[in-house]
Structures are given as C-alpha cells and as structure tokens.
Amino acid sequence: MAENPFFAPSALPYRLPDFARIREEHYLPAFEHGMAEQLREVEAIVADPEPATFANTVEALERSGQILYRTTIVFSSVAASDATDRIREIETEIFPKLTKHDDAIRLNRALYERIKQVSTDDPQEAWLLEKYRVDFVRAGADLSEPEQRRLRELNEELTRLATAFSQNLLKASTASALVVGDPAELDGLSESAIKAIEKDGEYVLPLLNFTNQPALAELTNRDTRRRLYELSVNRAPENFGLAVRLATLRAERAALLGYSDHAAYSVADQTAKTTEAVEEMLGKLVGPAVANARREAEALTQEAGFPIEPWDWSFYAEKVRKSRYDFDGAELRPYFELDRVLRDGVFHAAGELYGITFTERDDLAGYHPDVRTFEVFDTDGSPLGLFLFDPYARPTKRGGAWMNNLVDQSHLFGHLPVVMNNLNITKPTQGPTLLTFDEVTTAFHEFGHALHGLFSDVRFPRVSGTEVPRDFVEYPSQVNEMWATWPSVLANFARHHETGEPVPAELLEKMKAAEKFNQGFATVEYLAAALLDWAWHKLAPGQTVEDPEAFETQALEGAGIAFELVRPRYRTNYFAHIFSSGVGGYSAGYYSYIWSEVLDAESVEWFKENDGLRRENGDHFRSALLSVGGSMDVMDAFRTFRGHDPRIEPLLERRGLQ
C-alpha cells in the first residue's frame, strides 16, 4: 500500500501526478481502496449526530474521495492519450464499478435527506448547495426503491456499452486505415507526410475521428480518395448496434427520471434549458446553410468538369479556393512550425492579453515522452499552475483534440491547477513539425480551455474551471481562436521554418479573403451531426430502431439537412462525442458548439470594438468570465462581460449565412 503512488498526494510541484512512479498495476488497487474510503467518508457524514450544516455535509462531500479522485483523473487521461491493451482491460473492468460507486452515493437516501436539511446565507455556498441538490435529483435520489434498482442496472449497462463503443473506435483508427503499397497512389501528399506513414514497405494512413479526412484535400488520385473516404464512413460497423442500444436505454432512463426523452433530460440543466430552444436555434441555420452548400457544390462541379462525389469535395474546394482567391492552404504550412506556433503564437497571445508567462520544466515528466510541461506565472510573477502539452497522434491515443485537468484549482484544498492539452498531429520521422492552418486554430482553441482552467479562482472543486454547463464550455475556447489570425500575433509566429521570413502579407490577405469560402459545407457538416445526435436522443421510451443506417437517413431528411455530397461530420458508428460516455458526454449536446459560437461571435465583436489585444480587455474577460468557473450563473457572467443578452446576428455574419 505504501508503494502505491495514488495513496498519498504527489510530492511534485503543483501536485503533478508522479508519472515516473505510476505503473499499470497500481490502478486497480487504488480504485478499490479509493472507492471504499469514500464510502466510509460518506457513511461518516450520514452518521454525524450533529444537525446538518454546510460544513459537515456539503463541504465534507467536497473533501471526500481524494484517493479515488487522484486515481480517476490520471487513469482517464492515460486511457484517452496512451491506452495500452492492459489499460483497455482495466477500463472494461473498472468503469462499471465506478458507475455503481457513484450510484451508491447519489442514491443514498439518508445522505440526500441530510443535504436537503442544509441552509446557508453565503452566496457561494448556496450556489454549490443547489448544485448538489440538482445533481442528486437528476441522479435519481427521489425515485422509489424498485425504480432505483432499475436505474442502477441501466447505468451499469450504459457504461459497459459506451466503453465498448470507445474501444472499437480506437481500434478502427488503425484497423480501417488506408494501406497502399505504391507511394504513387498518395500523390499530392508531401514527401515528409508520406515518409511519416511508411511501415514495413507499406504506407498506412490512419483515420482521424471525423468523416472528411484531411488527406482528401490533397490526394490527386480519385480512387485513392474514394477508398479513404469509404473506409472513414464505414469504420467500426459493430458500433451501429451499440449506438442503438445506448440510445434506447438512455430513453428508458430519461423516462424513469421524469423526462419525455433523453434530449429533454440532457438540456434541462444546460443554458438552453429546453429542447424547443435548441430546435429553434438549429432550425434558423439549416435553410441558409444548405442553400450555401448547394451553391458551393455547383462551383466545385464546374471546376471538376464532372458530377462530384463526397470524396471529391475537399480536393476541388481547394482548387476553387486557389482559382477564386489565388490561395492554396498548403502554401501556409512552411510558416507554421509547431514550437513557434506554441511559444510565439499561443503563449504570446496569452501573455499580451493576460500578462502571464511560461517556463518549460524538463524536470517534470508526463505519461509519455512526447508530453511537455510548462510552469505558468501570473502577472505579478506568482505561480499560476502547470500546463502540459501532448501534440502528437499515436495508435494508443483517441482521435480529436481536448483539454483535461490533472489537478482542479480550489481554495478549499489550496490547489493550483494542472491542465493539459491533447492534439493529434502526425509526428514527422525527421525535421520540423509543420501544421495546417486548421491545426493552428485547434491549438489556440484548446488553449482557450486551458486558460479557463488556469484562471479558475473558486473555493470549491465542484465548480472549478471548466465545470460549467456543456453548452457553455466551448465558448471561451472558441473566443481564443480569434488570436490565431490577429495581425500582431500572426506576425509573431508565422515565419518560414527555414528562413525565418514572415509569411507574405499578400498570402495573408488571400487567406482572409477566402475565410468564408466553404462555410456552407462546414456548417452543413456540423449541423447534420448535431441533428443526428438530436434524433437519436429524441427517441421515445420503448421506441425501437431496426436499421440504424436507415434511421440516420430518415433523421437527416426529416431535419431538412440531408445533402448527398455532405455527410455529417460524424456518422453514428464513429460519433464518439455522444456514444463513448454512458450517461454523460455530449449526448444530446453536440449542438453546444454552435450554441457557444453565438456567445463567441458576440465576444469577438466586443474585443474588436475595444481595440483587441489589450491587457484591459483580457483582465475584463478573465475577471468576468474565466475566473468564476461554474461558481455562478454563467449567462449572468456573460452579461457582465458583454453588457447585454447574446444575439445570433454576429454568428450569421461570420458564417456567411445572412
């Protein structure tokens, strides 16, 4: 026990998990010990003979389960970023047990009754108290014993199914990869990109987690494009059945909790509040987006000289972009070297706006050699937290890009934040790592999440950093994307990796002129995924789906978003956002990205109205929004920052959908 690194807080700076000591055999004992310890702590709260107070009930719950917290947060990070076969085995074994453990707390009637007896006049305490009350009700604390038994069964089954879905998808990224023997079939990709995917005399192009693989924009061989596209949309076919089962069980669970469907359950504690609000917003965008995409398709067909197929879209979009705007995105790549983007772009913008500084700590290791660690200092030089950066793709890493916490900020424990960004950039076999502009934007986006965690200044871990409604959490990160193209920031990092010359002004002008090009495609692709998610989670309790692919087609047609040349960004079989987490994740929540973008577009407008990259602006955004986490009504925080309720017009302008 004494040798298990999870049984005591890490002695490293900022309580960074001691990855050098952590072994796979440590996880299961730490999970078991941590769950048992927290249940003992909960029983002590329930058995306390003193009247229920905030301190001896709610705050005591906040303090409970520290071993389990440390174990879970590290294991979840490693399972997402570097999952060995043994890690996947542990996932399968432990996640249902964790679900059962959570139910043992949330469905503890005596604990719930004690929480209901608590009262407090302190605003922060009252806010957290209400959070706990809502958590318990939404978890089923008010249900009868037979209903709770069924709920526990549903939760465990949902967790098992979601874990299987996620693991199938991870395996499919390589199992369904495009494999070619002749590099000539990969014509259009750079020499370095082709070398990076060479393995034992073959060339293996793994799948990223969305429908349109980036290589589709570059591959000149039409049959290669077709093969890559079809591998992408047909991967992990076994996940269709899992998705049906997940959606139908979620519908049953929602009914048990008093909701008409899972979508209604999902949005009830979000800023949207109602399914009608979500449907109204999405409905406003569908018509203009489809009309825009059809106009774009006409231009692409004209460029190609034949009726294009879905696998042709990205390739000919780049040709039209080049002919219409004399702009080729590949021309920018030599100016976007990874380390310079990070230091002279992402960090530089944060320094200019918020006054923070960064020092790399080679002495503080991550879970993989690719992980880099930076100490972050506030404007007065005081420690702010740690930032870990894991940029490269690997077979053991899930697709996409994300931020997670390794230590949550809270004054209750005196913890400063340790946050992490994961990207999925192909690692070159030699030479510099050169990024696409989309990858640059993603780096800024994910660091926006990191700032949300780093600037957290709250008392309780339950409301720390990004612990905000799901349809609000993307908002600060989307705002941070604006600095990727801010002239002074761009000039600071966009320099040729060999000559150091700045990116030519005329190339930037072309990029700016082409910004709204292909927005019809991008919006339809996104809306199709959001509405597909919505259709799965509007299933009524007891409703069955015999043919999931036919259901997909009918859902898109019914929503008016079906367009044969633009498939959803994620099809059902690889829609990890909504199906890789049993009862949570982004299920009935993929709308959140564009819901948050309404706030983002408003905020970008505010920054531009107030001269952009100024410390005064950063201080206002930090104090009004980033620092408060979920410790208050986030829409009140938005109004404090912006001065009025959000409007949709700036978003329509941005996407060319007026």
Q: What tokens were used for 244? A: 């049906």
Q: Say if CB 248 and CB 544 are below 8 A apart.
A: yes
Q: Which residues pair with 202 in a beta bridge?
A: 199
Buried b (16+ CB within 10 A) or exposed e, 463-490: bbbbbbbbbbbbbbbbbbbbbbbbeebb
Element (H, E) at 362: none
Which residue has tokens 């660091």?
A: 447
Residue 95: count other Cβ atoms within 10 Å of its Cβ.
22
> According to DSSP H, which parts of 347-469 are helical?
348-354, 437-454
Q: Say if CB 657 and CB 289 are below 8 A apart.
A: yes
What DSSP letter does each residue of 171-200 carry, written as one string? HHHHHT-EEES-GGGGBTB-HHHHHHTEET
Which residue has tokens 């199938």?
A: 168
Tell how far CA 169 is from the center of its chain.
Answer: 16
Return the HEC string of 62-73: HHCCHHHHHHHH
Element (H, E) at 386: strand 383-392
Query: Closest by alpha carbon to 399, among 582, 641, 176, 207?
Result: 207
Tell how far CA 174 is from the center of its chain.
Answer: 22
Q: Say if CB 491 and CB 658 are below 8 A apart.
A: no
Query: Closest by alpha carbon to 636, among 627, 625, 626?
Result: 625
Rounded Cα distance, 289 and 291, in Å: 5
Which residue has tokens 């009862």?
A: 583
Report which DSSP code applies to 273. Answer: -
Q: Which residues pair with 179 in a beta bridge?
A: 204
Q: How many residues does the chain have?
A: 658
Residue 649 annotated among the catalytic residues of the structure: no
Rounded (10°) CA dihedral 209, 210, 215, 217: -170
| Backbone torsion region of residue 431, taken as left when φ is above 0, otherwise alpha when ψ lies between -120 and 50, otherwise beta | left
Rounded Cα distance, 276 and 268, in Å: 11
Q: Say if CB 578 and CB 589 are below 8 A apart.
A: yes
Q: Say if CB 420 and CB 405 are below 8 A apart.
A: yes
Crossing angle of helices 634-642/615-624, nearest 10°? 160
Distances (CA, A) of 536 to 414, 562, 590: 42, 16, 12
> According to DSSP H, which parts of 183-326 are helical?
191-196, 222-233, 238-256, 262-267, 275-304, 313-325
Q: Which of 296, 303, 337, 446 is catalytic?
A: 446
Which residue has tokens 């999902």?
A: 266
Give burial (CB, 10 Å; 0-12/13-18/19+) of 547.
exposed
**CA 171, 176, 182: angle at the middle one, nearest 5?**
135
Active site residues: 446
